[in-house]
Amino acid sequence: MSRTRRWSLGRLALIVVLLSSVGFSVNAADRSLTKDVQETEAAAMAAPVSESPDWQAEMPVLTKAQEDALVAWAGNSHLPGPAIESKDEGLEIAAPVAGSESNPAPADKMDVPGPLAPGDAQIYRNVTFGSGFPSGTRSNIMESSVAENGKNVFYTGNWFAARSTNGGQGWTYINPAATMSDFCCDQVTLHDESRNMLLWYRQGSRNSSGVNRLRLSVSTDGGGSFCAYDVYPTNTNSGWTNQWWDYPHLQLGADYLYITTNMFDNSSSPQWTRTVMLRFPLDNLRACSSFSYNYLATTSWFTWVPVQGADHVMYFASNWPTSAPYNRISVWRWYEDQISTTSTVYTAPSWSRTGRNQAVCGSTNANWAARTDDRLLTGARYMLHNSNYKEPGRMVLGWWWNVKQGSGFGQPYINGFTIYENNLTPLSGAQGRPYLWNPDICFLYPSAAANKRGDLALVFDASTGSNMNPSVAYAIADDFTAVPPGFTYYTAQTGNARPSDNVWGDYNTVRAFLPTQDTWVGAGHTIQSGSNCAYCALPVLFNFGRARDYQSWNGWQDAAPPGWTTIVDTSFEGGFPGSWSVFDGLSGYGEYYWAKRGCRAYAGSYSGWAIGGGANGAALSCGSYYANYTRSWMTYGPFSLVGATAANMSFKLWLNSESCCDYVCRYASVDGSNWYGNCTSGYSNGWIDRVLDLANVYTIGDLRGRPQVWVAVQFYTDYSITYSEGAYLDNLLVRKCTSGSCPAQAMEEIGPDARLIDIPFALTADDPDRAPTYEGRPPKAATN
């Protein structure tokens, strides 16, 4: 590519608009005086190369060298900008306003079984990728991104790309480095509905000269094949030598793709040099042709974030000036039929400037807030709906970012800033600062998008309670809600642990679901294992909206066949754990969890052995005795039982355990933390059937109609007396019936020599190691 100069970069004449410290005020008549024109430059893009990914049914396993390189580069991306320490000195930090807290939805609304009212928030489908993901593709800096068009889903994270043609119910995978050898680490994916075009951005690692490339791959067949454009900094501007791209944002306008990225030098401690926006014509991208494009650069503001939902005008902003005062926000406007841009600078209510290792969520140990800073993270163009607001129906431009605790904020929170689109004046009062905060809840890493009605959705991470484990959550602001703040939020996926490596992020994703654009798709990550860990997160995909729009979304999903529909079928003959999460729930007594082993099998050659996996279990030979204090778990979910007329989990069980005290428990949950079901103890005398009826679960009752359900199997042993082998599972099946009735499952009779106890049991988050017990249990023997 060669570069031609179109315009010289205009001087940045910034006029500060003074605003109040709580809300905003500005004289609209003076608005034209705040506009500063910035002229752009032009460059040329060469024709792309072809790219044909080899999609695999199993996640590719990275080599040790690949893992080490990716881990090293992950720590060298998302780099901070110009130093901001003490930059809020002399500024009066705007404290939170009483009554503006964001709170979780009431328990009876958080996970509502049908029937639903039209305005009830609803998760239509919730997919957690299982622990079969190799460790090398499970970074706690997951950076989940998603593009969904009907049943076609393209999902990226660190370090993988995944593709589904059935709405996320089944996947194929690729290592992003397979077609980009220098890949690491940021990925973003978008779908342009008007052109039926998938866009996939990958960032490369810098070479010894301090140079990297971005690769933009374009597909018109849902990811089967691509044409790929490679852009090095010097391709855009020949003067940008020994520099590299970092931290991209991609958004669509009507006719252009907008890419923003920071640039850094090649010093031993890389320093930020500029912020760049590239504008690529979408028609040329779809045609896989060469083209000319415009770009804009600044050395006065760090990190530009474009809004999601732009049309023929793109708006982008920065909250990180390189000179005082540091509570300013600049907004740029770029008309698609113009070359130059204009900007407006605002003084915002001051927030606590936040650098790395300053935000603390719960504890500095396994602190998932440590990596964040306070650059802008997301922006959206949306509408004010609610009738109790004085000006409903006006389009609004909003941006959000992370801020550390302090100055009246008990926990890290998400700050916000909004202006009207038509005259660029700030909104007044609380609407001008649509933040998410609560004295007892951490909120971080927001992503924002509007649907075709202009309803706003936010996807973010939230944590509360004694453990402060990050969970994926969402909130909606529309005609069914009072005007936030505060927001009412809903948990999409509960996290069970924190990152032991003190890193998390760097972003979640929410987009309007295509093609209907009245609901949303969200992407994030959680830790599902029972203890804090590094490189152990699992990506999450979920579709959500209001109940009134469920049928609009469901019309683009596969119709359920009559009779039973399989949710998960695990015979242990293929890969395991696959979509199941396996872990040891009690540390300090060795590590044992469910694993595929060839010791016993009901059918085929393999079954799941309760103690056959983990650091200690993997070394056991067939016939070994199980250990005391075993807490071997396998969990699956969440999945939806909306529309189900029946549902159950069934499996074949072989059991040899201490009757009364060592159990195999089959559970269900509606939150992934509190478990209810039945436990079996004793001697099975061969293989027997066990079934958990999801329409009649101990304590929590009928789960039909629930949008989120989890199931689990646990092998529990107490403090003494062990037996050989313990427990095996085979032919495990979770299924639902979506027709009027489905045939019942045939059950094998239990042999006359079996000695079994089967009891109902609840295992709750407030007492996670409670022992199964029952009235009339015989006394336990004193020795093994």
End-to-end CA distance of the chain: 76
pLDDT per residue over 650-669, tens digit each? 999 999 999 989 999 999 99
Let me know: does 312 contact 381? Beta carbons within 8 Å.
Answer: no
Instruction: Tell me the C-alpha distance between 709 and 169, whole Å.
Output: 15
Let me know: does 413 contact 485? Beta carbons within 8 Å.
Answer: no
Q: What is the dihedral of CA 692, 696, 700, 702, to 10 degrees?
A: 120
Instruction: Tell me the C-alpha distance between 474 and 124, whole Å.
Output: 13
pLDDT per residue over 695-727, tens digit each? 999 999 999 988 889 999 999 999 999 999 999
Query: Which pairing describes strands 520-526 and 243-252: parallel, antiparallel, or unpaired?
Result: unpaired
- Torsion sign, CA atoms 126, 132, 133, 136: positive
Instruction: Tell me the C-alpha distance between 628 and 624, whole Å.
Output: 13
Annotate 183-215 with DSSP letters as a single string: EEEEEEEEEEGGGTEEEEEEEEPP-TTS---EE
pLDDT per residue over 573-631, tens digit each? 877 888 899 999 998 999 999 999 999 988 888 999 999 999 999 999 999 999 999 99
Instruction: Tell me the C-alpha distance between 177 and 161, whole Å.
Output: 10
Instruction: Tell me the C-alpha distance between 24 and 388, whole Å.
Output: 19
Instruction: Tell me the C-alpha distance between 538 and 224, whole Å.
Output: 25
How many Cα atoms within 13 Å fall on the side-chain side of residue 394?
18
Which pLDDT value is given to residue 573?
82
SS3 letters across 448-480: EEECCCCCEEEEEEEECCCCCCCEEEEEEECCC
Instruction: Tell me the C-alpha distance between 427 and 433, whole Å.
Output: 8
> Phi and psi at residue 137, in whole multiples of 5°?
-120, 25
Which pLDDT value is given to residue 749?
62
| CA 127 to chain centroid | 11
- Torsion sign, CA atoms 312, 313, 316, 322: positive
Let me know: does 390 contact 411? Beta carbons within 8 Å.
Answer: no
Q: What angle (nearest 5°) sits at the alpha carbon of residue 438, between those of residues 432 and 442?
A: 105
pTM score, whole prediction: 0.78
Entry field: residues in the chain = 784
Which pLDDT value is given to residue 777?
61
**Positions of the chain with pLDDT lower than 50, given as ranges:** 1-34, 387-388
